[in-house]
Amino acid sequence: MMKKIIFICTGNTCRSSMAKVLAEKKLEQEGLADYWEVDSAGLAAISNQPANENAIMVMDELGIDLRKHKSKSIPKNIEDYDLILTMTKHHKQVLLDYFPVKEDNVFTVKEFASGNSLDIIDPFGSDKAIYRETAKELSEEIDKIIKKIKNFY
């Protein structure tokens, strides 16, 4: 049975959209794409917005296409996800306070990957260099996440 993972940020045009496509690529490289469905959403997303142009360009540099991405808000079936990963502690708290989620399925990216309480930096409104930093940070944390889910899920 396929497991479901979702990445959550604010607008679903930068961090969570990049995390989704990075995770999909890495799961495919690890031979796990048939076992995990990856999604993304935003707590304050305006539906059907494209990914941020800098996010698209930075993903292009990594050989990943983000052009087809369309933003969306938290899905009605959020409780069906096996793993819900937020970009910040605030995103996590909002999910726990206002959405039907199980507390043991919700973590910040860094909390799940590394056991620390730091947030993923928000590149919104920044230049491409900051988007590269965010993509690098996400990539490193997703590597840890995949290593962990290979062993435990």
- Catalytic residues, by residue number, are 9, 15, 122
Q: Which amino acid is residue 112, in one-letter code?
A: F
**Structural contact between residues 75 and 5, judged by C-beta atoms closer than 8 angstroms:** no
Query: CB-based contacts of 15: which residues, under 8 Å, 6+ apart?
Result: 7, 9, 87, 120, 122, 123, 134, 138
Query: Taking phi first (over 0 means left), then psi (-120 to 50 degrees means alpha), and beta for anything else, what does residue 12 get?
Result: left
